[in-house]
Amino acid sequence: MKLFHISDLHIGKQLKTYNLTQLQNDVFHQIIEKTKEQQPDVLIIAGDVYDKNVPSAEAFDLFDTFLKDFTKTNPKVPVYIIAGNHDDASRLQFGSTFFRDHNIFISTLPPQSNDSFLMKQTLTDAYGNVNFYFLPFTRPSMVRGWLDVKNYQDAIEQLIAREAIDTRQRNVLISHQFYVYGQSRPERSESELNYLSVGGLDCVDTMVVDDFDYVALGHIHRAQKVGKESIRYSGTPIKYSLSEVDHIKGIQVVEMKEKGNITYDFIPLVSSPDIRKVEGTLQEILAQASESNKDDYVYIVLKENIPYNPLDLLRERYSHIVEVQNPWMRAQLHLAEAQQDGKEIDPMEAFREFYAQIRDETLEGSKEQLMMDIIDQAQKGDKA
């Protein structure tokens, strides 16, 4: 049985002031076409369908169009969807009865009472049954009224423990949480950091999902495994921050044969225009612009001190400038703030920070000693 696993669509998300609807639509059509080409047995969307709890009408329309086009092109491929922390249960659930009639199954809330359980769907192939368990994003408060839970770990562990999982069969969990493997944490991105709890309060150890042959995760924006090969975040299908410009985005492909025999593949998805970082001096950055990349969404890192605002000049070469960063200006601002606060500024510490911002490396060795000697000589001169 072949699974296509994606997550964190974040429909409606903007890149600063830029609307990404067309970019998202293009990537969704790639997913539809890749499904048509490879004919998986199911498409999993592991949460955060929308970027906001109250999506815009445009976001609703885009997701609706995606599902209609998908089922029209791939009528035999079911779609399994759970809610993420960005999704509003009632809005994502809207139309679920209609969706079921079109082979689309959505679970938006964890069980709400002692006599309810996780949504479960079963598919069958030559090797027998594959059971899919739907576990939407769960806060302890969502189940505290009928389960004795103190934290996220308790909530997920107890919800799974209530399920009569037949470990002789193949079982898949679809979940949207922050899973960790012992002391090992998944690599996070700037675009999801604001939505994770401070101090690890939202951590769930992967030991609670040991009974599953594959765990399809959402919530983290970089595609990666969590400890085991069988526990994976698919990542976002599109780059959503500067920290993601080097990510390879795509579809996680999982092929399950007999129990214990699983293979993995990854199908890249291409954003056009791309989202990337451009860095260097002003002239180097301008020289990097070309007819083929001028419409990319770019984060510009300007590595020289410019005595004027270069934005107008940059806009002549790049049509979608997301952000311009200038380490010189940041260093000057830091020094100004320190002076305003009345703090005594250590010149060596100030230069270390400045050097790290400009060169993206640590000042050490002979270079550090040289700068210490220069500062020492300058201070002696002041005293003289």
Do residue 94 and residue 178 come from a single domain?
Answer: yes
Q: Are 189 and 244 in contact (CB under 8 A)?
A: yes
Amino acid identity at 83: A
- Tell me how far apart the terminal alpha carbons of the chain are, to the nearest angstrom: 81
The span from the CA of 132 to the CA of 81, in Å, is 11
* 136 and 13 assigned to the same domain: yes
Condensed to tens digits (0 to 9), the pLDDT of residues 308-359 reads 788 999 999 999 999 998 876 655 545 455 555 555 667 777 677 666 665 6
Domain boundary among 224, 250, 268: 268
- Say yes or no: 204 and 293 in one domain: no
98/225 same-domain check? yes
CATH of the domain at 165: 3.60.21.10
The number of angstroms, rounded, from the C-alpha of 157 to the middle of its chain's C-alpha atoms is 24
251/313 same-domain check: no
DSSP assignment string, 264-333? EEEEE---SS-EEEEEE-HHHHHHH--TTTTTSEEEEEE-S--SS--HHHHHTT-SEEEEEE-HHHHHHH
Q: Which of 176, 91, 190 is nearest to 133 (CA)?
A: 176
Both 238 and 352 in a single domain?
Answer: no
> Which of 230-235's residues contact partners 24+ apart within 8 Å by CB, and which partners?
230/262, 231/179, 231/181, 231/206, 232/5, 232/264, 233/7, 233/186, 234/5, 234/6, 234/7, 234/8, 234/46, 235/7, 235/8
Q: What is the DSSP secondary structure assignment for residue 361, as one 8-state letter?
A: S
Angle at 301 between CA 299 and CA 307, to 5 degrees: 125
In order along its 384 residues, the chain shows pLDDT tens digits of 999 999 999 999 999 999 999 999 999 999 999 999 999 999 999 999 999 999 999 999 999 999 999 999 999 999 999 999 999 998 898 777 778 889 999 999 999 999 999 999 999 999 999 999 999 999 999 999 999 999 999 999 999 999 999 999 999 999 999 999 998 889 888 877 555 554 467 999 999 999 999 999 999 999 999 999 999 999 999 999 999 999 999 999 999 999 999 999 999 999 999 999 999 999 999 999 999 999 999 999 998 888 778 899 999 999 999 999 887 665 554 545 555 555 566 777 767 766 666 566 777 778 778 888 887 787 766 555
Tell me the residue range of the domain where 59 lies: 2-268
Q: Are residues 242 and 280 in the same domain?
A: no
pLDDT of 198 reads: 42
Q: What is the pTM of this model?
A: 0.85
Residues 193 and 257 in one domain: yes
Would you say 177 and 156 are in contact if contact means Cβ atoms under 8 Å apart? yes
Contact (Cβ atoms closer than 8 angstroms) between residue 238 and residue 24: yes
- Spatial separation of the C-alpha atoms in residues 232 and 215, rounded to whole Å: 6
Query: pLDDT, tens digit, for every residue of 147-168?
Result: 999 999 999 999 999 999 999 9
Q: How buried is 318 (Cβ within 10 angstroms: 0-12 exposed, 13-18 middle, 19+ buried)?
A: buried
Residue 350 neighbours by CB under 8 Å, 6+ apart: 331, 334, 335
- Report cis status (omega within 30 of 0) of the bond before 327: no
Query: What are the residue ranges of helices labelled H in the chain?
Result: 21-38, 57-73, 89-93, 96-101, 140-143, 152-161, 190-193, 282-288, 311-315, 327-340, 347-359, 365-383
Closest CA to 286 of 314, 324, 253, 258: 314
Residues 183 and 299 placed together within one structural domain of the fold = no
Domain count, the chain: 2
Does residue 104 sit in the same domain as residue 238?
yes
10 Å CB burial of residue 237 (0-12, 13-18, 19+) is buried
Strands 250-256 and 2-6: antiparallel
Answer yes or no: do 172 and 132 share one domain.
yes
Q: What is the amino acid identity at position 284? A: E
Q: Given 268, 296, 313, which residue is the final one in a domain?
A: 268
Provide the residue count of the chain. Answer: 384
Domain shared by 193 and 104, yes or no: yes
Report CA dihedral (40, 42, 47, 51) to the nearest 10 degrees: 60
